[in-house]
Amino acid sequence: MQRHYIRPQCLCVDVFFSFIYFSCDLNDPVMEDRPIVTSKQKIEVVCGVPTQVVCTAFSSHIFVVVTQYGKMGTLVSLEPSTVANDICKPAITTRVLLGQDEPLIHVFAKNLVTFVSQEAGNKPILLALALKDKSVEGVRALKEVIRSCQVW
């Protein structure tokens, strides 16, 4: 008997689906009332550059893709810290999982999706980021596009 193996075209997609497989509890009774995955996407021109945003909500995480290249780019995990009281907002810890680990990536990641985590009850965020325009105006515009794809 001959076995054929299909090699994934993109390692980042394989890593993403492994992440989703191990982070979703399909036996969770809360999940019976809702679809397992809720997703919205939008294509908009941001600072003259066509930009695609996809937001997907899972039971334990939110996955946000922001691309101006048509690919996933750098994959960043954003984890909120636990807070003992409701006086202050939790700090967000960023970690690059795939791609270039540069300080600017961490700054962009926090600025783009911290509000998503807060509005979603401090859920962790997985962000795929591939940007041509890295201006402050671009980040502000991208936040509004992300907000328009709200699934949390």
pLDDT for 90-134, tens place per residue?
789 999 999 999 999 999 999 999 999 999 999 999 999 999 998
Give the pLDDT band (50/70/90) at residue 35: confident
List, in order, residues 6 or more apart from 86 with CB less than 8 Å away: none
- CA distance linking residue 3 with residue 132, whole number of Å: 42
With tokens 């807070």, the residue in question is 83
pTM: 0.76
The token duo for 142 is 């991208």
pLDDT of residue 6: 42
- Between β-strands 74-80 and 125-130, what pairing exists: parallel, antiparallel or unpaired? antiparallel
The token duo for 101 is 């680990």
CA distances from 115 to 14, 110, 121 (A): 27, 9, 10
CATH 3.30.230.90 correct for 11-148: yes
pLDDT for 38-66, tens place per residue?
999 999 999 999 999 999 999 899 999 99
pLDDT of residue 27: 57
User: Residue 53: phi, psi to the nearest 5?
Assistant: -125, 130
63 versus 32: the higher-pLDDT residue is 63
Please give the mean pLDDT across all residues of the chain.
83
pLDDT of residue 12: 45
Query: Rounded to 10 degrees, what is the CA torsion of 18, 34, 60, 44?
Result: 80
pLDDT of residue 10: 45
